[in-house]
């Protein structure tokens, strides 16, 4: 799951999205949902956008994240946003 808390450079983040999504899909990731309408019930947690990609396994998700292809572009996201990526295992 990806969470964006703020965007520092829209052009760079847009360029990242243009290349990252095909890399995720080529690694077997499927977008489940995307939302910019996030309302926290309590606490200080308030991302401005969230996206959920599904992989067949946790191993496959980690393989994508650590792949040379994704590592070549992750810097664009990190430099252009305040964001996080988390892995969620559901059984």
Per-residue pLDDT for 12 more than 80?
yes
Per-residue pLDDT for 26 more than 90?
yes
**Cβ-based neighbours of 23, under 8 Å, separated by 6 or more:** 64, 67, 69, 70, 73
pTM here?
0.88
- Alpha helices, H only, the chain: 10-26, 58-65, 68-71, 74-80
Query: 28-67 pLDDT, tens per residue?
Result: 999 999 999 999 899 988 899 999 999 999 999 999 999 9
Residue 54 in tokens:
């599904």
Q: What is the mean pLDDT of the chain?
A: 95
pLDDT computed for residue 30 by the predictor? 97
pLDDT computed for residue 80 by the predictor? 97
């Amino acid at each position: 799951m990806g969470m964006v808390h703020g965007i520092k450079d829209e052009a760079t983040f847009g360029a990242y999205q243009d290349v990252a999504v095909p890399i995720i899909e080529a690694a077997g990731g499927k977008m489940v949902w995307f939302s910019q309408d996030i309302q926290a019930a309590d606490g200080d947690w308030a991302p401005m956008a969230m996206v959920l990609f599904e992989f067949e396994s946790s191993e496959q998700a980690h393989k994508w994240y650590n792949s040379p292809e994704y590592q070549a572009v992750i810097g664009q996201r990190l430099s252009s946003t305040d964001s996080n990526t988390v892995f969620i295992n559901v059984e």
